[in-house]
Amino acid sequence: MSIKATGTGASSTSQGMVRLFVYNGSNTRLLMEIDIPAQGQGSTDPTFETTIELNYKLKESYILRATTQTSDDFNIIAEGLDFAYYASSVRPESTNYTANTGVGYVSDANTALDGSGTVGTDIFTVVTAGASGSGWKGLCIDSITIKAASTVIHGMIRIFIQNTSTGASNTFLFKEVFVPYTIPSATSKSFGYKLIFPDKFQLQAGFKILATSQNGSENYAVIADAMDWKYPA
């Protein structure tokens, strides 16, 4: 599970708590508390984020809920898999995979933390889960590589998750990567960074990964190393 603050300015988050609860249809029970520090946000300062290794199996129809101690805004992104027992005997290792290497090219400035913007102009699609054909259940992401193709100044690359069934109104900040001032040359590399998901990140079929740049007049390749997956027929 990822927790990502979306507030702007010197008081993006105040010291407080995010709490997770399990709701069974009639009762809500506290499951976990996560400390939130006081932290500012700026063009070169990312908002607070943390990843929680929850490893929690939730009964069918139960709901995972979240609250915040303060009035600060957070995106709570739960990575999970619905599961069912297969009618026939299918081994887990027989799951079908196919490469879905997403490549986005980020250039124009977009300072928003809410995922707003025009796709292809200032917010760019990197990869779409299940894009390789029908029947795919989701996208398994190993890493997202960010590589500058020009001189860059202090700024930020932001990664978003979009629920395409509801469109831009459901685009959520996922990760931020600080970009330092970097001048490439014959003997100096351009800026590069690799977001690695050690346990792989599972993106629901139809959802998208999008990216923006804090600054304009800079060029970045954003490449997702990923595979669509499905169960065999």
Could you tell me the mean pLDDT of each successive run of 10 residues in the chain, 233 residues long?
A: 96 95 92 95 96 86 95 94 70 80 94 94 95 88 94 97 77 97 93 94 94 96 94 75
- pLDDT the model gives residue 93: 66
| DSSP category for residue 41 | -
Tokens 């299940």 belong to which residue?
130
DSSP for 161-188, please give it: EE-TTTGGGGEEEEEEEEE--B---SSS
For the chain, helix, strand, coil in percent to 5 are 5, 50, 50
Contacts of 105 (CB under 8 A, 6+ apart): 124, 219, 220, 221, 222
Nearest to 214 by CA among 41, 12, 27: 41
What token pair was written down for 11?
A: 């008081």
Q: CA 13, CA 111: separation in Å to the nearest integer? A: 18
Beta bridge mates, 147: 192, 221
- pLDDT the model gives residue 168: 60
**Domain formed by 94-230, architecture:** Sandwich (2.60)
Residue type, 40: G
- pLDDT the model gives residue 89: 61
Q: CA 173, CA 113: separation in Å to the nearest integer? A: 6
What token pair was written down for 72?
A: 């600060």
Residue type, 133: G
Q: CA 194, CA 145: separation in Å to the nearest integer? A: 4
